[in-house]
Every structure is written in structure tokens, then in C-alpha cells.
Structure 1
Amino acid sequence: MSFQVIIKPSDRVFEVEDGSTVLDAAIDAGINLPYGCRNGTCGACKGQVLAGEVSYGEYFDSALSEDEKKVGKALFCCAQPLTDLVIECREVEGEGIPPRILTVRVEKLEKLSHDVMGMTLKLPSNERMQFMAGQYIEFLLNDGRRRAFSLANAPHDDRFIELHMRLVASGQFTQYVFNEMQEKTILRIEGPFGTFFLREESTRPVILVAGGTGFAPVKGIVEHALRQGLKRPMTLYWGARTLEDLYMDELPRQWAAENRLFRYIPVLSAPEPEDGWLGRTGLVHEAVLEDYPDMSAYQVYCCGAPQMVDVAHRDFQRHGLPKGEFFSDAFTFANPVAKIPA
């Protein structure tokens, strides 16, 4: 059995098989609905059900409240149709890239800091994975679980896949990566996923906000923008606890030195005395607001821990950021899909 879904206002139509979610079916149909975590945590896929009924699996109350459900709001990453649907939601500019399952080999493992591992994956010689800078892939584990990580490289550099993984004390997969995994290990991935990519049709100046390993997708976005010939002012704020946590600090400094339209502002929340830190301190989103008290003319891309992303979104809108100019990717824990937190 399948159900028909009509999207308003575009009137695009797609089918959802029984047991599938609205978002998964849209992705399979090449329709680019906004989303982030795909597990009911971030709320990026929230839209309106105008007609029809849906059921839900597990999701977080912070992403969809009971009051929102009563007025027809839905999380399309969790919503399964019980009838044909008419929904209203924003569609992302451009055609979606259908995800594919690929076999990859671990080409390189390199510690970027005490708790961040750089992983380079090699696809088969006759394969390439099409993606947009800032998207993510999911590892398909043998026990049926999935683990998702953002792509840190840009699409023009697609011979390999670059990932940045933070070691998580309770994270079974990252513990395996840090302590047991060997180069040449064979893994399966699926991707690309996500709508965290640069809206190239816009002319607004760009503010990038990264927390910890939230730098990974931002790196891909910046490298893509530079490759295309950066024409919009772009400022990166990278927040971390200590100097050591800015694990590739020399790279954005190089971008800033070589490109007059690019600025880099690192922000440490808890610098060590031995860091000798003379730069900005405090919360990274507050540093943005100190520099941009009026955000009405800007476009923001924010990636990191859910708390940081949520607070930044709220406070930036209070300072004039238009509703449709905030794009985010929140790193979350969840089952069966988990984004490893920054």
C-alpha cells in the first residue's frame, strides 16, 4: 500500500510506501525538503499537515510540542502517512541528490587533536559520490545501526571522503575508530543526506558559526565557495573550549590571509593558562552578536551541539535575522541514526 503526498505551494506529488516516512520518500523521489538530523531531534523538517493523518515513532518534545501537533504541525522525518496527505513546507532550492549505498575503504586515519580523528575514505576506482558541500553520510553498521558524520571536503575534491570524528566516551563507534580500527578497513556508507549547504543564489553576506567538529561541514562549504570564486563577504566564527580544540586553526587563518572577502574569528570558552590566549573568549554566538547587533542583512550557517544551534537561532532572530536565512546542522545522539556531537 502507498499514499500520495501533495506539497503546497509547489503542488509537487510523490508516493510514500506504507511504513516509510514522508521525508525518506521525498528523498527517494529527489524532492529536497529541509531536514537535519533525520531522527526527530532538530526540528528542521517541521511543516504543516493540511489534510490527512500521520503516525509517529519516537521524537523529542523540544522538536515538536503537543500544542504544535494539535494545530497540524508535523516532523516529516518521523511522520508516517495513515492516509493520503496534503502538506505545506518550504522546499530547498535545486534538485535533491538521491542517496546511494556505497562500499568504501579507510584510506587514512590521522589524529587531528587529542580527541578528534580525521578519517579519509576511498571509493572504488570507478565510483564517485555526488554531494553538496556541507551534507553528511551515514555508516551502515553490521548490527543495523547507523552513525552519521558531516562531509569535510568540497565536491570538486571527490576522489576521497573526508570526515572529522570527535571521541565520545559513551560512543561505541568512535571508541572503535580511535582504539581498534585499522587503515584498509572496508565499510558501507549511504549518502549524501542533509540540506546544510550554501544557498548560492543569495547575495547576502554569510556568517558561519561552528562549534567543535561543526567545523567539518563548514570547511567543505568554505572550500567550495573559494573554488567557485568567493563573491560574498564570509565570516567564520569557530567556537571551542581550549586552543587545542581548534584542531585545524591554521587552515582558516590561511583562507583569511589569501582572500580579502573571508574573515576568521576563533572564540574560546575556557582557554587554559598555558594557551596564552589573547583572542575572543566566551560563547561563540555571543561573539557574533557583539560584532553584528543588527543581523537583518545577513545569512547564517550554524553547525554544532543542539544547545548552541538552538540558542543561536533564537538570539539571532531577536537581533533581526530573517526567519528563512538561518541554516543549521545540529549534531545529536539518537537511535538508529546518531550525529556525533561537537
Structure 2
Amino acid sequence: MTYQVTVQPSGHTFQAQPNETLLEAGLRQGVALPYGCRGGMCGACAATVLSGQVHYPSGDPQGLSADDAQRGKAFLCMAAALSDVEINAPQVGATPDIEVKTLPVRVETMRKLADDVMELTLKLPASERLRFLAGQYVDILLKDGKRRGFSLANAPFDDQLLALHIRHVPGGQFTGQVFSTMQPKALLRIEGPLGSFYIRDSAHPLILIGGGTGFAPLKSMLEQMMQHGLERPVHLYWGARAKADLYLDDLVKSWVAEYPLLTYVPVLSEPLTADGWQGRTGWVHEAVASDFADLAGYDVYLSGPPPMVNAAKVAFLAQGLPDAQLFYDSFEYSPDTVQAMQAGQA
């Protein structure tokens, strides 16, 4: 027995076996469904179930909030069909045909942007270029078969080197290596571009919200838009713990001085006394909610840790933001990194 899955609005169809995830079934049959971590954490694969029934053979996804479930959202990386199913996944068929490649890269430069944030620039082979959309990410392929995803911080027009902003995670296998033993000229393998986080064509003003290194894909988006000239208002909110965590604050301020349509609101959750901070404090999504009582006329892009993204989604939808105008990239630790952190490993 198989079930037919219909994807709207593209009209794509594919067949799913019982207990086969909809993501696996779709990718197996050439349907480019969105995905990220494949572990039910990041929410990149979320789609709305329009009709039919799905279930989660391996258990409910940890990243699926009660609010999302009530609105009919399902995580395709873990959901299996119990009947013929119709889903709404606007990303399918909307992304330009961009080839996903596996490539060797060499670490060209390493620059500390903050005590716990490293910028790696990666050089591709001379005969290769990685075509991507601003906001997408690449996976670093580790020797043990594991992978780590990082957003591209450079714009597609500036692709001679690929830039990543990597935060040091206690217990993190790869980030620990970056901050301890990695040197320029180190060789890595990447796969990409991946993800469905990119700017859509629209006449709406934009609200971009980054938490920590969630600024990286927003930087790529902004630089690409500025390259072509900002044609609609863009409101950038960057949430961080302390002032030092706004690791490219001066760069953003230089953009604001050059582009009148760009506004910038940094928000600190735990400013230090030594910061002498006179700006906004608290949670970054609350600052946005305070500034925009009605979000119906905006496109909102969220990038950062899952607690920020989940809280923002609930708040913004309650303030009139249509679901179709909300896009997000939820940064999630790998399962083995989470286990290491919980075990207190350094």
C-alpha cells in the first residue's frame, strides 16, 4: 500500500510508503522539499497539512511547538502518511534550480569576531563556484560521517570565498576544533547550498531579526540587496547578550549611514555594566512586537536559536502576521553536541 502526497501550490505529487517520512519519499522521487537538520529540531521542513492524516512513527518532533501543531503544521522529516495527504509547502517549485554540490575547500583565513565567534573564509577549487541564494547554508562534512550546518555570511555576488560565522559551543566536536587546533590551509569538505531561507519577491517592507550568529544569513541577504540598491524599507533587529556579541556592529552602522531605507535596532538581553549600554534591552522579538503592533503588511525573516524563533512566531502571528509572510532559519545543535553539553563535557 502506498499513499499519494500532493504538494500545494506547486501541484507536485509523489507516493509515500507506510512509515516512510514524507521528506524521504519526496526527495526519493525528485520533489525538492525543504529540510534542514532532518532530526525534528530546526523546523525548516515544516508544512501545513491541508487534508489527510499523518503521524510520527519515531515520536513527536522536539522542535514542533503546540501552537504549530494546532495550526496544522507537520515536520516532514519525521511525519509519515496514514492516508492520502495534501500539504502546503510554498517553497517547492519556488526555489531556482540550483545544484547541490559536494566540494573540497581550503580554510583561507580565520578571524575572531568575538571571543566565541570565529569567521572562517573557505576557498573553493579554482575551477568551481558555488551558486547559492542569500540566506542559504552549507554542511561541513566531518570524517566520522556527521555534518554541521553553517549559514553563508557572504552575498552570492561576492563568491570568491565562502564566509561562515562559527560560535564556539562547549562540547561541540567541530567548533572545538575550530577554536583549538584548526589552522589556515586546513582542508574540509562541504555540501551545499541547502535550505529554503532566502528573500522572496514581494512589495512588503522587510523585518530581519537575528539572534547571535543568526546575523550571518541576514548579512548575506542585506549585502545582496544593497548590491542591487535597496528598493523597499528594511528593519534589522539584532539580539545579543552583551555589547561584544554584536560582533559586526560598526559594519551595520556604516550600512545605515549609506542606505536611508535601512534601520537598525540592536537589543541586548544581559548588557554588562562596563558596556554603558543606552540602547534597547530585553528579548529581541519583544522589541519588534513593541515597535510593530500590526505586522500584516510586512515580510518577517527570523534567524537564530530555537527558543527565540519559537517565541517570535507565536508573538508575531498573534499580531496579524500572515503565516505565508513568515520565514525562519532555526539554529539547532546536533544531537551529539547536545548530549556532550548535558554531560558537562568541554
Question: What range is the shorter-chain TM-score in?
Answer: 0.7 to 0.9
* Unmatched 5+ stretches in structure 2: 339-346
Distance change in 2, residues 1:54/1:230 (3 Å): same
Instruction: Look up the equivalent residue of 2:254 and give its one-letter code.
Output: Q
Corresponding residue for residue 277 of structure 1: 277
**How far off its partner does 1:30 sit?**
6.4
Distance change in 2, residues 1:82/1:180 (3 Å): farther
**How far off its partner does 1:280 sit?**
1.3
Deviation per CA, 1:128-148, whole angstroms, max 9, x where unpaired?
Answer: 111100011111111111111
Distance change in 2, residues 1:15/1:137 (3 Å): farther
Distance change in 2, residues 1:241/1:255 (3 Å): same
**How far off its partner does 1:334 sit?**
3.0
Indicate the SS of the match to 1:285. helix
Contact 1:252 1:264 in 2 (8 A): yes
Superposed counterparts of 1:208-287, under 5 Å: 208-287=208-287
How many angstroms apart in 1 are the aligned matches of 2:185 and 2:99?
A: 27
Instruction: Look up the equivalent residue of 2:307 and give its one-letter code.
Output: Q
How many angstroms apart in 2 are the aligned matches of 1:286 and 1:222?
A: 22
Instruction: Look up the equivalent residue of 2:171 and give its one-letter code.
Output: S
**How far off its partner does 1:9 sit?**
4.4
Contact 2:242 2:269 in 1 (8 A): yes
Indicate the SS of the match to 1:107. strand
How many angstroms apart in 1 are the aligned matches of 2:162 and 2:15?
A: 32
Contact 2:243 2:275 in 1 (8 A): yes
Distance change in 2, residues 1:257/1:30 (3 Å): farther
How many angstroms apart in 2 are the aligned matches of 1:281 and 1:53?
A: 42
Distance change in 2, residues 1:15/1:337 (3 Å): farther
**How far off its partner does 1:8 sit?**
3.7
Distance change in 2, residues 1:22/1:122 (3 Å): farther
**How far off its partner does 1:7 sit?**
2.2
Deviation per CA, 1:66-112, whole angstroms, max 9, x where unpaired?
Answer: x959x9864212346799x5431222233352421111111111111
Deviation per CA, 1:264-298, whole angstroms, max 9, x where unpaired?
Answer: 11111111111111111111111112211221211
TM-score normalised over the length of structure 1: 0.87
Corresponding residue for residue 296 of structure 1: 296
Indicate the SS of the match to 1:138. strand
Superposed counterparts of 1:20-169, under 5 Å: 21-23=21-23, 26=26, 31-44=31-44, 45-48=46-49, 50=51, 56-57=57-58, 60-63=61-64, 74-79=74-79, 86-92=85-91, 93-169=94-170
**How far off its partner does 1:33 sit?**
3.5
**How far off its partner does 1:115 sit?**
0.4
- Count of matched residue pairs: 334
Indicate the SS of the match to 1:88. strand
How many angstroms apart in 2 are the aligned matches of 1:30 and 1:256?
A: 42
How many angstroms apart in 1 are the aligned matches of 2:294 and 2:336?
A: 40
How many angstroms apart in 2 are the aligned matches of 1:96 and 1:40?
A: 26
Contact 1:49 1:74 in 2 (8 A): no
Distance change in 2, residues 1:53/1:231 (3 Å): closer
**How far off its partner does 1:223 sit?**
0.6
How many angstroms apart in 1 are the aligned matches of 2:245 and 2:166?
A: 12
Indicate the SS of the match to 1:125. coil
Contact 1:47 1:76 in 2 (8 A): no
Indicate the SS of the match to 1:162. strand
How many angstroms apart in 1 are the aligned matches of 2:87 and 2:5?
A: 10
**How far off its partner does 1:46 sit?**
3.1
Superposed counterparts of 1:186-205, under 5 Å: 186-199=187-200, 201-205=201-205
- Is 1:11–2:8 an aligned residue pair? no
Distance change in 2, residues 1:154/1:205 (3 Å): same
TM-score normalised over the length of structure 2: 0.86
Distance change in 2, residues 1:189/1:317 (3 Å): same
Instruction: Look up the equivalent residue of 2:280 and give its one-letter code.
Output: R
Contact 1:31 1:95 in 2 (8 A): no
How many angstroms apart in 2 are the aligned matches of 1:137 and 1:122?
A: 14
Root mean square deviation of aligned Cα: 3.0
**How far off its partner does 1:57 sit?**
4.2
Corresponding residue for residue 332 of structure 1: 332
Contact 1:303 1:330 in 2 (8 A): yes
The sequence identity of aligned pairs, in percent, is 46
Indicate the SS of the match to 2:335. coil
* Unmatched 5+ stretches in structure 1: none
Instruction: Look up the equivalent residue of 2:251 and give its one-letter code.
Output: L
Instruction: Look up the equivalent residue of 2:306 and give its one-letter code.
Output: P
Distance change in 2, residues 1:130/1:241 (3 Å): same
Moved more, 111-120 or 72-81: 72-81
Instruction: Look up the equivalent residue of 1:189 and give its one-letter code.
Output: I
Distance change in 2, residues 1:254/1:129 (3 Å): same
Corresponding residue for residue 305 of structure 2: 305
Contact 1:145 1:335 in 2 (8 A): no
Indicate the SS of the match to 1:105. strand
Distance change in 2, residues 1:82/1:192 (3 Å): farther
Contact 1:43 1:64 in 2 (8 A): no
How many angstroms apart in 2 are the aligned matches of 1:19 and 1:145?
A: 24
Moved more, 306-315 or 41-50: 41-50
